Amino acid sequence: MVGNDGRPVGVALLGCGVVGSQVVRLLTEQADELAARVGAPLRLVGVAVRRPQRHPDVPADLITTDAAGLVAREDVDVVVELVGGIEPVRGLLLTALKNGRSVVSANKALLAEDGAALAAAAAESGADLYYEASVAGAIPLLRPIQQSLAGDRIVRVAGIVNGTTNFILSAMASTGANYAEALEEAGRLGYAEADPTADVDGYDAASKAAILASLAFHTRVTADDVHREGIRDVTAADIAAARALGCTVKLLAICEQVEGPAGPSVSARVHPAMIPRSHPLASVSGAYNAVFIEAAAAGQLMFYGQGAGGPQTASAVLGDLVAAARNRVIGGRGPRDSAHADLPIVAMGDTRTRYHVSLDVSDRAGVLAQVAGVFAEHGVSIATVRQEGRNGTGLEDGVARDEGDGARDARDATLVIVTHSAPDAALAATVDALTGLDAVQGVAGVLRVEGLGRPVTELGGVS
């Protein structure tokens, strides 16, 4: 693997869409500078595409539809994969790695589903496997986690890793729009695809969470291990409720190392959550991404930038390409994916979270006692309760009114409850049981609350 006798480093590009065409452009425009950094010229030897006629900007002699043939060429040192999806890419990349070709990929779905097989193939042949562009676009994130923090113990990685959903939630927060309106706006401005499922249902973020958790905790985590909830059910009322609590709603990818009696385990999940407006992640709006990392020694770190876009993602791809090419020229290997810790994954039901619950109730004596009793039965401790009159009746902030058994007219009210942390299953069961109470007319909203390392007291609370 060491040295390539000064010859150019051959690069095969699979896929030439929004990102790939930027990679081709930058490889050309910055050829001299890249050669200086690598120690040898980078030579693009072929570009595999499905429809050759669609790429007038790429020299015709480089275009091929035979991806397998391109990957197998003797003059290819590094394969850059920007096709996406599982097949046929998986087979192509496994072959490339087994044959000692290094691979740079932005394919989060493949890495999250079968990263282990790719890593094993790379380890076996001594080739490099880099995929910085698969998570959070241009933001340097995987290299810091894998290398800069290699001497530390990461306890939490929590971030906004999907620009489409962040745009939608930001729009809902700033304009009061409901979900459907904000989604339509996102589509009109090019921030949402015609079929937004992968984004709004959290599949994209779940793949990224799997990749982040795998690297942060040295444990193989796949997308299937990640609990996933999207933002379709987030309402304008949820956003307003968050604001009343000093919070904002974000779709978060959260990866935590959890200490339990049986030892450490990993929680990886994607769901909307209220976070304090004072948290650095709260002010990340629009299509931006940001990831917050907490490590035992380093403390709290945050990385911020553009999570998508052709040039932005191409920047991350080229950074990986320079690293892989440099290893070819001067010898050396990138860091290996390591799953040596092999921690168990916590089921979502056993993950400790906090809930914000809005209940429409009859405003009559004893209701709060009944409701509080249901929480107590499930072992869930209440942090704060606020009662709001729904028909312009008075409300008392901070501590709810509960006037014992004195007779009063039943009126409509909303009880807003924030819990302390409890197993997610207990919280869900509590909400289920609440719907069975006579006095509860309906559950107006349920959202998790994440302090992200901040003490509960920052959110206020009754003691």
- Nearer Cβ to its own copies, position 51 or 340? 340
124 binds its own copies per the rule CB under 8 A = no
Residue window 216-255: x/- pattern of binding to its own copies, with contact defined by CB under 8 A: --x-------------------------------------
- Nearer Cβ to its own copies, position 207 or 219? 219
Is 208 among the catalytic positions? Answer: yes
**Binding-site member from 18, 236, 298, 428 for its own copies (CB under 8 A):** 298
283 binds its own copies per the rule CB under 8 A = yes
As given in the structure block, the two tokens for residue 2 are 């060491």
Closest distance to its own copies from the beta carbon of 302 (Å): 4
Closest CA to 169 of 263, 252, 291, 227: 252
Answer whether 380's CB lies under 8 Å from 424's CB: no
Closest CA to 451 of 352, 349, 304, 345: 352
Residues 126 and 142: their CA atoms lie apart, in Å, by 20
**Binding-site member from 12, 26, 182, 383 for its own copies (CB under 8 A):** 26
If you write DSSP's letter for every residue of 151-191 in order, what string do you get? TS-EEEEEEE--HHHHHHHHHHHHH---HHHHHHHHHHTTS
Count of alpha carbons within 13 angstroms of residue 332, beta-carbon side: 11
- The answer to the question of whether 250 is labelled as a binding residue is no
- The answer to the question of whether 357 is labelled as a binding residue is no
- Nearer Cβ to its own copies, position 302 or 365? 302
Other residues' Cβ atoms within 10 Å of the Cβ of residue 23: 28
**Binding-site member from 115, 144, 163, 276 for its own copies (CB under 8 A):** 144
Bridge partners (DSSP) listed for residue 384: 418
303 binds its own copies per the rule CB under 8 A = yes
3-state secondary structure of 314: helix
Residues 80 and 134: their CA atoms lie apart, in Å, by 12
Residues in 307-326 at the binding interface with its own copies, rule: CB under 8 A: 309, 311-312, 314-323, 326
Judging by beta carbons within 10 Å of its beta carbon (0-12, 13-18, 19+), is residue 56 exposed, middle or buried? exposed
Other residues' Cβ atoms within 10 Å of the Cβ of residue 181: 15
266 binds its own copies per the rule CB under 8 A = no
- Nearer Cβ to its own copies, position 231 or 301? 301
Catalytic pick from 208, 328, 386, 448?
208
If you write DSSP's letter for every residue of 115-145 in order, what string do you get? HHHHHHHHHHHT--EE-GGGSSTTS--HHII
Closest distance to its own copies from the beta carbon of 63 (Å): 22
Number of residues that bind its own copies (CB under 8 A): 59
Position 302: which residue type? Answer: M
- The answer to the question of whether 193 is labelled as a binding residue is yes
352 binds its own copies per the rule CB under 8 A = no
**Binding-site member from 86, 189, 244, 341 for its own copies (CB under 8 A):** 341
- Nearer Cβ to its own copies, position 109 or 154? 154
DSSP tag of 197: H
Question: Would you name the residues annotated as active-site residues?
Answer: 208
Give me the residues that bind its own copies (CB under 8 A), please: 2, 22, 26, 30, 33-34, 36-37, 132, 138-140, 143-144, 147-153, 218, 280, 283, 295-306, 309, 311-312, 314-323, 326-327, 330-333, 335, 338, 340-341
Residues annotated in a binding site for NADP(+)? 14-21
Residues annotated in a binding site for NADPH? 108
